[in-house]
Structure 1
Amino acid sequence: MNQSKLLKINPHESENPLDLSLKESFSLCQSQLRPPFPLKIPSPTEYSHLNLALIYGTLTEPNLAKTHITHLHAIVVDGYKLFTTTLINLTNQNYHKLPETPRAQLIWVTSQLVQVSAVKVDSLLISLLRQISGGDFSEPNLWLCVKLLEIFDQNWDRLLDEQPLVLKSAVFVFLRLLSDHYRLVGIGNLDDLKRLEADFCVKALRQRFALCMKIGRDLVRLLQDLVFIPEFREIWKDLLFDPSKFQVPGFTDISQLYCVRTSSQYFLLRISPEMETHLRFLLTHVKWGNQKRYQAWFAKKHLSLPGSETVIIDIVRFICCAHHPSNEIIHSDVISRWAVIGWLLTCCRKNYFLANVKLALFYDWLFFDEKVDNIMNIEPAMLLMVNSLPQYVDITHTLLEFLFLLVDNYDVHRKEMIARGASTSFGILVRKGVIRSLEPLISCSLLSPLLRERLSTFVSTSNLGVVMKGSSDFCSRQLERTRVAECHVEVSK
């Protein structure tokens, strides 16, 4: 069979199953792909083959792409579901293997599907958003940013009416990317991209803030990282001092955003499907004692580019908020989430990124509410601090010190709310049996006396005496699964 024009397959690799299926359908239906098209209604099997053939032709024959799409419009009976679903699978599994022409055609056909409101086109757009790699400033990656922004701009009203989740997702992605892109100068057309990203995000925030609010508290975290950009500095000022400018009924204070937990679906947006697979493998199958080899493999694969350090922020949010291991995994000898995060902290070389990684780790602590928040989101930070004693006491010290800096300085006008969130976090982690008590931290002579005194005072004034002594009434058997802090295992470096 002829070499595929759709994917770049190395000589040592076996044929890709999806590529093979598309190619076979194209070969089978080739006589039907040129006008005049047959007038008969295809059988279900013929319809399936024809859809796959049209995908292959659209992606590999740009000069005939309009003909193929016209043909698709004429035969479609399922709202384009099969066509779109196949493109989603291709994007999730093989986007990085697509040559330049099929990539360009994939973007073009996506824009065509948006215009006809194809079934699952929202999932296709989100799949493409996930292919934008954090910390990757190569031309193909920046090109993908530009092309997706053009689709969102050209279809603003349609997406706003039909796919608001996609627009919220795009706002989250491009706010996060802006932070990285604005810190770089002299890279090709990066200035043009930054302008497109800023214009899109400002438009969404100024015109549709009620929609953006649904992102939750991480919207504040992202905006805070952009205050050095003039138009975002103005948005930040309005958030703090004049929320009425956003014209959202009932929105009167930024603390209302603090109280909304960000859904895990947003953290998946900054992790490519391939990276998600590798992270879940690391956190589900790799056992203590073998982790260094797999961590080195992961770092070489995903953290080796010059700017890739920034993606650690997104990985930590993903681990805390989107990967919650099962009871079976927690009780097994699989490496724990806190240990992987401890290793990731050692991968940060620049203080700015290290501070943002710590903020990502503690962010839900600052606003924790047992009624809306998940204890698994705050568990890794606590276990990392406790399990780093005594061998890696510097990790415990820097994390605890950073947490108190956040309590004192993150939002001085709402310090009471933040202190309450942090104290609630300490309290529930003890009550639910994640740790027996805070005594290992308070009594550790290797920690700074000032820090130990601050912790002791903090929990005492927060009516958390039980936290210092430990709870005699531990949680039910269902929640005892999190009591892995009793096992003091070395944090891999």
Structure 2
Amino acid sequence: MALRLIQVLSHESENQTVSSLRQDFELLEPKLRPPFSLTIPSSQEYSQLNRAILYGVLCEPHFAKTHIKHLHAIVTDGYAFIVNLLVKIVSELYPKLVDTAKDQLIWVTETMIDVSAVGVDSLLVSLLRQIIGGDYSDGNLWLCFELVRLLLAKWNFLLDDQPLVLSSALYTYLRLLADHCRLSDDVKLGTLRRLEIELCVKIVREEFHLCLKIGRDLIRLLQDLVHVPEIRAIWKDLILNPSQFKSSGFSDILLLYRSRTSSRYILLRITPEMEAQLRFLLTYVKLGGQKRHQTWFAKKFLSGPDRETLIVDMVRFICCAHHPPNEIIQSDVIPRWAVVGWLLKSCRKNYVEANVKLALFYDWLFFDERVDNIMNIEPAILLMVYSMPQYVDMTHSLLEFLLLLVENYDVEHNDVIVQGVSSAFNILVRKGVIQSLDVLTSSSALSPFLKDRLRKFLSGVKVGVSKQLQPVPLPIPSMLPLKFSAVSSMETPTLSPR
């Protein structure tokens, strides 16, 4: 029977990567069985042998140990070539791999960790990116489980040799936990949730210096999990007893606020395929001709019953990880703000919509032009401005949300947030993203109440919380003030399958 690595539909052409691996396997198959040749292979032969062995490992589980022994005998590059092949397979082919190949992929990854292979960190990160948020299919949950199990089992190696993998894992699993905890009655998720919580708590409690590398988005993710007892305990120490974390230089949550999150973490929560399609949309599709592309994209990536939470990650990607060059910005390609507006309109659940808005405005709250990028805050202001007057409800909704964030996000550090948002408005005008804030403060389309509150904010007048802002939906529980007295008095929300 022919060996299969991927599932290929009848209308699809053969994948070149798979074809290359299979051809080398078929060419060298006689040499892949003991006794092995003692001849030192040339550079070309070495590459072919690596490809053949990897194909055998993935497609012949019953011979996998033999193939690995063969690899150990010939390796001369610290396993770099075969790890690069594995990363390529994961990034390009993972969704199409047959189940046995996925099983073998985890097995060979564990083997590469055991031999301290060059580039194994990239392999683990590539696998983390293949976990899809809001996807409760057996295959996706299997990958969640296998990776969290592997990370816990190889803790000592990762801590000593690949610590950044642990910070990547923390970002990934905190985000996944927010989804998995919403289905608290689902029995099959129980064991997985416990392992995810164990891993996240272990990293935060034992290696907090790694958490600091994530920056401010760590706070955004932790807030979504304040109803989890173990995370609530972490919150208590973050606010009241930061010395518990024994991390040099960390004495206040402000240190995280003032640290911009690298795009390498933002990318963890969208798959390479999602990234490629979003970049295509924002690079080649003309404004006005995007509808069919958006329809295809939504059907491909957002059609599942719980996939809506992915919109949060997509908006964060658009703001923080996709910064088009000037020639694209000045062209008729669909701009980032328009795609964000479409994604925001795609939200059906209030808590998702609120979390998307928080993702959109998050860098505004702590903006400092010395460390932050104006491109991170540009989509929000342009979406508010260009939604008027035809879609003024969008402008109203976003501006209301921003003003509510300023007053309520963290009452203990309100001065920092006021400064951050003020700096964001100032640089957007100074750099010419918008000509003037008059477009908001003097617009006849906006409500007088909102214009008045915005003028007072921009003039430095302290604006109290108004009941007129209360209808704006808030993330639960992420919008709770960070003062621990508010957190500790919160009733744990009742979570049920959606």
**Shorter-chain TM-score: which interval?**
over 0.9
Find runs of 4+ consecutive structure 1 residues off by over 4 angstroms.
Answer: none
Match of 2:297 in 1: 298
SS at match of 1:42: coil
Match of 2:423 in 1: 424
Contact kept? 1:5, 1:60, Cα under 8 Å: yes
Give the residue type in structure 2 aligned to 1:396.
Answer: T
Match of 1:131 in 2: 130
SS at match of 1:201: helix
SS at match of 1:146: helix
Give the residue type in structure 2 aligned to 1:402.
Answer: F
Match of 1:82 in 2: 81
Match of 1:447 in 2: 446
Give the residue type in structure 2 aligned to 1:123.
Answer: S
Contact kept? 1:285, 1:334, Cα under 8 Å: yes
Match of 2:459 in 1: 460
Give the residue type in structure 1 aligned to 2:379.
Answer: P
Match of 1:328 in 2: 327
Gaps (5+ residues) in structure 2?
Answer: 463-498
Give the residue type in structure 2 aligned to 1:429.
Answer: L
Distance in 2, Cα, partners of 1:60 & 1:18: 14
Give the residue type in structure 1 aligned to 2:52.
Answer: A
Contact kept? 1:423, 1:462, Cα under 8 Å: no
Sequence identity of aligned pairs in percent? Answer: 62
Distance in 2, Cα, partners of 1:462 & 1:345: 31
Number of residues of Structure 1 aligned to a counterpart in Structure 2: 462
In the TM superposition, what is the alpha-carbon distance from 1:219 to its structure 2 partner? 0.3
Match of 1:37 in 2: 36
Contact kept? 2:4, 2:59, Cα under 8 Å: yes
Match of 2:199 in 1: 200
Match of 1:254 in 2: 253
In the TM superposition, what is the alpha-carbon distance from 1:187 to its structure 2 partner? 3.7
Match of 1:392 in 2: 391
Give the residue type in structure 1 aligned to 2:48.
Answer: H
Give the residue type in structure 1 aligned to 2:30.
Answer: S
**Are positions 1:22 and 2:24 aligned together?**
no
SS at match of 2:416: helix
SS at match of 1:461: coil
Note the alpha carbon deviations across 1:190-219, whole angstroms, 9 max, x for none.
111000000000000000011111100000
SS at match of 1:359: helix
**Are positions 1:213 and 2:212 aligned together?**
yes
In the TM superposition, what is the alpha-carbon distance from 1:241 to its structure 2 partner? 1.1
Q: How does 1:82-161 map to 2 (within 5 A)?
A: 82-161=81-160
SS at match of 1:133: coil
Match of 2:174 in 1: 175
Contact kept? 2:84, 2:119, Cα under 8 Å: yes
In the TM superposition, what is the alpha-carbon distance from 1:460 to its structure 2 partner? 1.2
Give the residue type in structure 1 aligned to 2:281.
Answer: L
Contact kept? 1:288, 1:333, Cα under 8 Å: yes
CA separation of 1:442/1:294 partners in 2, compared to 1, >3 Å: closer, same or farther? Answer: same
SS at match of 1:126: helix
Match of 1:468 in 2: none
Distance in 1, Cα, partners of 2:10 & 2:185: 37
Match of 1:484 in 2: none
SS at match of 1:260: coil
Distance in 2, Cα, partners of 1:449 & 1:380: 24
Contact kept? 2:323, 2:375, Cα under 8 Å: yes
SS at match of 2:339: helix
Give the residue type in structure 2 aligned to 1:305.
Answer: G
Match of 2:54 in 1: 55
Distance in 2, Cα, partners of 1:366 & 1:273: 29
Match of 2:411 in 1: 412
In the TM superposition, what is the alpha-carbon distance from 1:3 to its structure 2 partner? 4.9
Give the residue type in structure 1 aligned to 2:408.
Answer: N
In the TM superposition, what is the alpha-carbon distance from 1:81 to its structure 2 partner? 1.1
Give the residue type in structure 2 aligned to 1:352.
Answer: Y
Distance in 2, Cα, partners of 1:86 & 1:431: 47
SS at match of 1:436: coil
Distance in 2, Cα, partners of 1:462 & 1:259: 24
SS at match of 2:368: coil
Match of 2:374 in 1: 375
In the TM superposition, what is the alpha-carbon distance from 1:79 to its structure 2 partner? 0.9
Contact kept? 2:320, 2:375, Cα under 8 Å: yes
Q: How does 1:291-370 map to 2 (within 5 A)?
A: 291-370=290-369
Contact kept? 2:3, 2:59, Cα under 8 Å: no
Distance in 2, Cα, partners of 1:108 & 1:323: 34
In the TM superposition, what is the alpha-carbon distance from 1:185 to its structure 2 partner? 3.6
Contact kept? 1:4, 1:19, Cα under 8 Å: no
Distance in 1, Cα, partners of 2:272 & 2:25: 27
Distance in 2, Cα, partners of 1:461 & 1:47: 68
Distance in 2, Cα, partners of 1:446 & 1:462: 23
What TM-score, normalized to structure 1?
A: 0.92
What TM-score, normalized to structure 2?
A: 0.91
Contact kept? 1:407, 1:419, Cα under 8 Å: yes
Distance in 2, Cα, partners of 1:78 & 1:249: 37
In the TM superposition, what is the alpha-carbon distance from 1:4 to its structure 2 partner? 4.6
Note the alpha carbon deviations across 1:97-116, whole angstroms, 9 max, x for none.
10110000001000100111
Name which of structure 1's ranges 442-451 and 355-364 shifts more when overlaid on structure 2: 442-451
Distance in 2, Cα, partners of 1:430 & 1:333: 23
Name which of structure 1's ranges 226-235 and 32-41 shifts more when overlaid on structure 2: 32-41
Name which of structure 1's ranges 65-74 and 179-188 shifts more when overlaid on structure 2: 179-188
Distance in 1, Cα, partners of 2:235 & 2:445: 40
Distance in 2, Cα, partners of 1:127 & 1:3: 28
Give the residue type in structure 2 aligned to 1:35.
Answer: P
Give the residue type in structure 2 aligned to 1:194.
Answer: R
Distance in 2, Cα, partners of 1:291 & 1:181: 33
Distance in 1, Cα, partners of 2:185 & 2:227: 19
Distance in 2, Cα, partners of 1:186 & 1:204: 26
In the TM superposition, what is the alpha-carbon distance from 1:43 to its structure 2 partner? 1.2
Distance in 2, Cα, partners of 1:448 & 1:74: 74
Name which of structure 1's ranges 42-51 and 274-283 shifts more when overlaid on structure 2: 42-51
In the TM superposition, what is the alpha-carbon distance from 1:293 to its structure 2 partner? 1.2
In the TM superposition, what is the alpha-carbon distance from 1:186 to its structure 2 partner? 4.3
Distance in 1, Cα, partners of 2:291 & 2:186: 35
Contact kept? 1:217, 1:258, Cα under 8 Å: yes
Q: Which one has more relative contact order, counting CA pairs under 8 Å at least 6 apart?
A: 2
Give the residue type in structure 1 aligned to 2:217.
Answer: D
SS at match of 2:259: coil
Note the alpha carbon deviations across 1:349-387, whole angstroms, 9 max, x for none.
110000000000000000000100000000000000000
Name which of structure 1's ranges 353-362 and 187-196 shifts more when overlaid on structure 2: 187-196
Contact kept? 2:364, 2:424, Cα under 8 Å: yes
In the TM superposition, what is the alpha-carbon distance from 1:146 to its structure 2 partner? 0.7
Contact kept? 1:55, 1:83, Cα under 8 Å: yes
